[in-house]
Each structure stands twice: as structure tokens, then as C-alpha cells.
């Protein structure tokens, strides 16, 4: 957190992305990062403080891309969620099609009531599914 920064924003983003990919592809290295107290480093990157606060936490100003990469790394270091019960999201999604060849995605709540996603969200889901299936 040196001012002015020693590294550029692009280098910072690249290192975070590299750590995210490594953590995703190699659980042993992710576990090693956790053992080496990367949580402290991430806390410092988020708050700019060495103190652990529970109230009135102020975040360091960052670019949206930096925030995205930090949260991606945190996500990769977290343990996976269970795939049953309330975490079985895929079983709550339904794909319905209308006459204009657009797809409307819906989700079901705990009462099994269907709720449509917005048109934009449905398109995003379609793009993500297409990318996964490639």
C-alpha cells in the first residue's frame, strides 16, 4: 500500500488473477496459501489496515477490476458449498421458450413458486451456459 504504488494496476490485477487460477486448478496450493495466512493479506488489500476491526470498516479505493479480482481470489479460497438442500441451485432453474425464440429463465423458491428472471438476466444465463458447454 505504498503511495505512489510501486506496481501498476495491471500488474496487481495479473497477480491476483494468477493466484485465483492457481487456487482453482490446484487445491493443494490453495490450502498452502491459506496456511501461509493469505487471509491477513487479503484483509490488508481490502482495508489497508493491519488492525482487525469488526466495526466501521473502511475499504481502500480501488478500480472495479481490482475489486473483481480480489473477490474472485477469495471465492477460489473458500470451501465448496454443499450441492444439496438450499444449495442445489440448478434444480431450481427452469428454461421456458416463447414464440419469438427467446428463452425466459425462471427459478423456484422454497414453496415451489416460479419467478422469471429479467430478459437481460436470461440472456446472461444463456451465454454462460453456452460458454460452459464449449
pLDDT per position as a tens digit, 65-110: 888 888 888 988 888 777 777 777 666 666 665 555 678 888 887 7
| CB-based burial label for 30 (10 Å; 0-12, 13-18, 19+) | buried
- pLDDT of amino acid 85: 73
Question: How far, in Å, CA of 93 to CA of 103, rounded?
Answer: 12
Write down the mean pLDDT value for the chain: 80
- CB-based contact 6:53 (threshold 8 Å): no
Question: How far, in Å, CA of 88 to CA of 85, rounded?
Answer: 6
3-state helix, strand, coil in the chain (%, to 5): 55, 10, 35
Question: What's the mean pLDDT in 99-125?
Answer: 80
Cell 506496481 sits on residue:
7
Return the H-helix or E-strand segment holding 9: helix 9-25
Return the H-helix or E-strand segment holding 120: helix 119-133
- CB-based contact 60:1 (threshold 8 Å): yes
Beta-bridged to residue 96, according to DSSP, are: 104
Amino acid at each position: 500500500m505504498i503511495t505512489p504504488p510501486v506496481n501498476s494496476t495491471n500488474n496487481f490485477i495479473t497477480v491476483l488473477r494468477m493466484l485465483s487460477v492457481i487456487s482453482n486448478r490446484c487445491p493443494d496450493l490453495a490450502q498452502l496459501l491459506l496456511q501461509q495466512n493469505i487471509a491477513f493479506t487479503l484483509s490488508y488489500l481490502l482495508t489497508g489496515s493491519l488492525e482487525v476491526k469488526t466495526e466501521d470498516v473502511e475499504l481502500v479505493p480501488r478500480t472495479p477490476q481490482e475489486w473483481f479480482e480480489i473477490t474472485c481470489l477469495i471465492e477460489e479460497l473458500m470451501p465448496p458449498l454443499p450441492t444439496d438442500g438450499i444449495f442445489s441451485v440448478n434444480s431450481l432453474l427452469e428454461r421456458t421458450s416463447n414464440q419469438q425464440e427467446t428463452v425466459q429463465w425462471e427459478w423456484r423458491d422454497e414453496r415451489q413458486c416460479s419467478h422469471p428472471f429479467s430478459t437481460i438476466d436470461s440472456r446472461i444465463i444463456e451465454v454462460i451456459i453456452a460458454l460452459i458447454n464449449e
